[in-house]
Chain A
Amino acid sequence: MTAFALLFTLSAIGISETVYLIRTRIAAEQPVCPIGEGCATVLTSKYSKIFLIPNDILGLLAYVVISFIAALLVLEINVDLWSLIIKILVGAASLVSLFFTYLQWREIRAWCFWCLMSAFTIWLMGIIIIFSSVI
């Protein structure tokens, strides 16, 4: 239950973050960059889209699905199935986040606060899932 609550909380933070990024992008504004100055560089780079879909939208979809599954797990609906799906989803998202972090480091050579925050959010979800499976 605590693990699901944490997953839900983290995915909710992810939703609010990606909604903010989508809104600033649609309004053609520059997002606030609390740490560093590379947000605009990263968010407008050629890597900001995968197959024409902006990464912020993909992130929002991932977070919405994770929060929805966490809610289903709390409601104890098909626990075995959904816990497997959430593990696969968070695992895949962790790898994608790892790839994007690599791109920032080696290709774009700029760090984006929001992208790193999203990556850490996903990795933290992965750590929570691993810990909850072990304990």
Chain B
Amino acid sequence: MSKTAFHILRVGLAITFLWIGILILKQPEAWASYIAPWAAGLLPVSPVEAMQGTAVLDLAIGLLLLTDTWVWLAALIGALHLITVLAVSGITDITVRDIAIFAGAVALFVETRPKNLLIKQKTI
């Protein structure tokens, strides 16, 4: 991936995560309705509280990506987070675009993962 493409993807994903975090904080009740009933039953906290936690996580991921800090970690957590979102909400008209965000986060992770991770992978 070229450096320019990497930075465009990084900043674009950062803005997406930050903005989603703010929108969730605005109306956590509305966002909680996207959680499938089976997943809501598994939560140790209320769906609204879970969404508020999600908002904080989204904001943290966005901030790290935006400031180019621990990008690999932010991208990894972001990708895992999106897998969770797709699992608990299902692929709907709204969440279908999360597949693209997930792919972008994976691309950033692959591009920035620490070298020792790469070495370990090669030796396995």
Chain A contact residues, CB within 8 Å of chain B: 5, 8-9, 12-13, 15-16, 19-20, 23, 32, 34, 67, 71, 74-76
- B residues in contact with A74, CB < 8 Å: 22-23, 26
Given contacts A16-B67, A19-B68, contact A9 B15 (CB under 8 A): yes
- A residues in contact with B19, CB < 8 Å: 5, 8-9
- A residues in contact with B4, CB < 8 Å: 34
Known contacts A12-B14, A16-B7, A23-B68; 11 additional CB pairs below 8 A are A8-B15, A8-B18, A8-B22, A12-B11, A13-B11, A16-B67, A19-B67, A20-B68, A32-B3, A75-B22, A75-B26
Given contacts A9-B15, A12-B11, A13-B11, contact A71 B22 (CB under 8 A): yes
Closest Cβ–Cβ distance, residue B106 to chain A (whole Å): 21
Tell me the interface secondary structure of chain B in the complex.
helix
Picked from A8, A16, A23, A34, the residue with its CB within 8 Å of the CB of B11 is A16
Closest Cβ–Cβ distance, residue A80 to chain B (whole Å): 18
In the complex, per-residue mask of B78-117: 1 if CB is within 8 Å of any chain A CB, else 0: 0000000000000000000000000000000000000000
* Distance A20 CA – B25 CA, assembled complex (angstroms): 29
Residue of A nearest to B26 (CB): A75
Interface residues in B, total, Cβ within 8 A: 16
* Distance A73 CA – B99 CA, assembled complex (angstroms): 29
Picked from B14, B23, B25, the residue with its CB within 8 Å of the CB of A16 is B14
Chain B contact residues, CB within 8 Å of chain A: 3-4, 7, 10-11, 14-15, 18-19, 22-23, 25-26, 66-68
Give 10 closest A-B pairs by Cβ, nearest first: A12-B15, A16-B11, A71-B22, A19-B67, A16-B66, A75-B26, A9-B15, A74-B22, A15-B66, A12-B66
* Distance A67 CA – B14 CA, assembled complex (angstroms): 13
Closest Cβ–Cβ distance, residue A111 to chain B (whole Å): 20
What are 19 A-to-B residue pairs whose CB atoms are below 8 Å?
A: A8-B15, A8-B19, A8-B22, A9-B19, A12-B14, A12-B15, A13-B15, A15-B66, A15-B67, A16-B14, A16-B66, A16-B68, A19-B66, A19-B67, A19-B68, A23-B68, A34-B4, A67-B18, A76-B26
* Distance A34 CA – B4 CA, assembled complex (angstroms): 10
* Distance A67 CA – B62 CA, assembled complex (angstroms): 13
- B residues in contact with A23, CB < 8 Å: 68
Name which of A12, A13, A19 has the most chain B CB atoms within 10 A of its CB. A12
Residue of A nearest to B18 (CB): A12
